[in-house]
Each structure stands twice: as structure tokens, then as C-alpha cells.
Amino acid sequence: MKIWNKIKNWRQPRLYWKNIFKYYADQFSFQKSSVKIIKPGQEKSVLVLCPHIDDDVIGLGGTLYQYRQLGVPVTVIYFTTENERRKKEGESIRDFLGYKETKFYDFQPEQLSHYPDISALLESFLKKNSFDVIYTPFHLDRHKDHIALALHLAKALERIPELNAEIRCYEVWSPLFPNQIVDISDVVEFKRKGILICQSQMESVNYVDLALSLNRYRGITSTREKQMAYAEAFYSCTPYAYLKLLKIENPEK
């Protein structure tokens, strides 16, 4: 049974403890080895999928700033805009991080699971454009829009078996189990500035503390090879492995 047949009737994406346990059991092999330290720059083109305007700078702002320094073209898709103030913040992030292309969509926040056309949109876009790496929210992140977008990507990937991009899942609300780490110690202040662009969101949550506290933790704990002041963590896999992982995680009807 295909992924979407399992989830199309969901009223709202949810996390299930049994699925989380299965995930960690499935990733046991990674627990036996060190997390790989990667350096941005090998990629020729990058796509970042963001449920909201700010997920990019919170989840991987340091990595994105390194892409800017190295001249790697980055395309970002924001699936919710919400209002003109947030759109202007997104445009400021675009200018600050030097994105090659930025797309703004007006899907309703907290409702991404109710828009099946998002999967079709992604499928069409990925067929027309080539990317070495696709960044997406992790499917166990503690936000229903993040879960929904991860599932929309899975549906799109099912229809593009020839796609040869690396999938990198990033963390925002919930720590993931990483197999890749990027040292952002030298650019952490630029990440801070990127997050501070989103003043509309800083009014309710201190996202600087949220993100940089996690980055500090990652820098200290993620690898024995090198101590870092700050790091961003990712779960990397092939499209096939991504589909396999989500098929394991999604409950039957």
C-alpha cells in the first residue's frame, strides 16, 4: 500500500510512541558509528522546503550562510506566508542569505495536511528542476505542519523514482537522530542575525535561544572526532530510504 493511501484520511498528523520506538530501533546501526562531519560546498544546487517563514534560519541558518559564502545556489519554498509582515521578513531572509530563488505560497498555517495539491506541486517542481540536496523538516518534528510537509514530500518522491537527490532532514522543534553534522561555529552570529529578522515570531518565542541552545548541544555531543562550539544536525538518506522510513513510521488505517 502506498504511503498516501495510508495517510490521506488523517484529520491531523500525529506522533505515535510506537513509531518513535520503531524509528530508533531501525537506526541502531547508526548508534554504532560516529556522526559524519560534512562541509557545505560539494553541492551544485540546493532546495529547502519550509512550512513557515523562519524554519530555514532556525533549522539550518548556519549551513545556508555557508552556502552563500561558497556561492552555492539555493532555492527556498515557503508554503505559508500568513500576512504581509511575514512575507517581508521572508524577503529579508532571502536577501540576507542570497537565495537564488524564493517561492511564497499562501497555504494556511496549521493546515498543511489538508492540502493534497502540495504533493502535486512538489512533484511538478522536482520534475522540472534538478537539485543535489533537498532539505525538509523531519517527519517526527513536534509540529503538525512539519510532519505534513514531510509526508507531502514522500508522496511526491513516490511518483519520481528516478530522482537522485540526497534528502537531508533538519530539526526545529524536536531533536532528531542525526547522521550528519555541520560545524557552524564561525557563522553562528550570522545565524543569530537571520533569526532576528523574524521579529513577528520573536514576539512570542525566543527562537534565537531555541535554535542556538540546540546547536550548542549538537556541537558538544554529536561526535567524538571534534569538539565544536555550535553545530547543525541532519538526518541524511536517499529518496528510497526516505520512503522506506516513512512507510515504517506511518500507521495503518
Report pLDDT for 11: 44
Residue 132 is placed in which grid cell?
543535489
Single pTM value for the model? 0.87
Q: Which of 63, 246, 238 is nearest to 139 (CA)?
A: 246
For residues 57-81, one letter each, b for 16 or more C-beta atoms within 10 angstroms of the residue's C-beta and e for the rest, the string is: bbbbbbbbbbbbeeebebbbbbbbb
Which single residue is written with the C-alpha cell 541524511? 236
For residues 215 and 218, what is the distance between their CA atoms, to the nearest angstrom? Answer: 5
pLDDT of residue 25: 59
Number of domains in the chain: 1
pLDDT at 1: 45
pLDDT, tens digit only, all 253 positions of the chain: 454 454 444 444 555 555 555 565 555 554 545 689 999 999 999 999 999 999 999 999 999 999 999 999 999 999 999 899 999 999 999 999 999 999 999 999 888 989 989 999 999 999 999 999 999 999 988 889 999 999 999 999 999 999 999 999 999 999 998 999 999 999 999 999 999 999 898 888 899 999 999 999 999 987 777 789 999 999 999 999 999 888 744 443 3
Please report the pLDDT score of residue 33 as a whole number.
54
**pLDDT in the model for residue 203:** 83
Give the chain's end-to-end CA distance (angstroms, integer): 11
Helices (H) and strands (E) in the chain — how many of each? Answer: 11, 8
Residues 124/156, Cβ–Cβ less than 8 Å: no
Q: What is the pLDDT of residue 9?
A: 46
Alpha carbon 24 to its chain centroid, in Å, reads 19
Per-position DSSP letters for 204-217, written without gaps between them = TS-HHHHHHHHHHH
Amino acid, res. 131: F
157-189 as b/e, with b when 16 or more CB fall inside 10 Å? bbbeeebebbbbbbbbbeebbbbbbbbbeebbe
- CATH code of residue 26: 3.40.50.10320
Pick from 167, 197, 185, 173: which is nearest to 222 by CA? 185
Q: Which pLDDT score, from 0 to 100, does residue 122 have?
A: 97
**C-alpha–C-alpha distance, residues 67 and 145, integer Å:** 26
Cα(140)–Cα(176) distance, integer angstroms: 8
What's residue 250's pLDDT?
Answer: 44
Tell me how far apart the alpha carbons of residues 107 and 115 are, in angstroms, rounded to a whole number.
8
Residue 155 near residue 120 (C-beta atoms within 8 A): no
User: CB–CB of 174/137 below 8 Å?
Assistant: no
What secondary structure letter does DSSP report for 79? S
Domain that holds residue 216: 3-249
